[in-house]
């Protein structure tokens, strides 16, 4: 993972919620800090392994560490400009509680937000931000 650009967000490319959040992050990430890869991609399979790629949870590779679930989401928010980093204060909530909430949303994401037939494809002009 040493040659991996830093940070990288791995997301469920079939999930409308996840793909929408990636688009939301891209619009706010004016400094172009983040790179992205769908969990279903060959890059994710190779970098995080098939088990992690099959997890369906958001993963963040940052500074040599791989974060998942609520911790990954909060660390992403922390790096966005403006007032968004204030939400990082939620890190004081015990991880089991944060992850329980995260997993409840993740378990229902296809039912509540829908599922894509194929992975999210980046629009023209942002392809270089995807692995």
Domain spans in the chain, listed from the N-terminal domain onward: 8-117
Question: Cβ atoms within 10 A of the Cβ of 103, count?
Answer: 14
What are the residues whose beta carbons fall under 8 Å from the beta carbon of 2, sequence distance 6 or more? 64
Per-residue pLDDT at 115: 86
- Residue with the two structure tokens 């940052």: 62
DSSP bridge pairs for 119:
none
Per-residue pLDDT at 96: 97
Separation between Cα atoms, residue 125 and residue 46, nearest integer Å: 25
Whether 4 shows a pLDDT value over 80: the answer reads no
Bridge pairing between strands 65-68 and 35-38: unpaired
Tokens describing residue 129: 């931000």
94 vs 131, more confident: 94
The Cα angle at residue 58 between residues 28 and 10, in degrees rounded to 5: 75
- The model's pTM is 0.88
Whether 83 shows a pLDDT value over 70: the answer reads yes
Separation between Cα atoms, residue 121 and residue 131, nearest integer Å: 11
Tokens describing residue 14: 């079939």
């Amino acid at each position: 993972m040493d040659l991996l650009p830093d940070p990288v967000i791995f997301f469920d490319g079939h999930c409308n919620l996840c793909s929408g959040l990636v688009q939301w992050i891209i619009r706010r990430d004016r400094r172009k800090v983040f790179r992205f890869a769908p969990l279903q991609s060959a890059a994710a399979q190779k970098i995080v392994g098939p088990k992690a790629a099959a997890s369906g949870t958001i993963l963040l590779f940052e500074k040599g560490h791989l974060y998942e679930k609520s911790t990954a989401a909060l660390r992403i928010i922390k790096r966005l400009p403006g007032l968004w980093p204030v939400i990082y204060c939620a890190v004081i909530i015990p991880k089991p509680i944060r992850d329980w909430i995260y997993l409840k949303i993740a378990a229902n994401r296809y039912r509540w937000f829908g599922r894509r037939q194929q992975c999210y494809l980046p629009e023209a002009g942002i392809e270089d931000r995807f692995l």
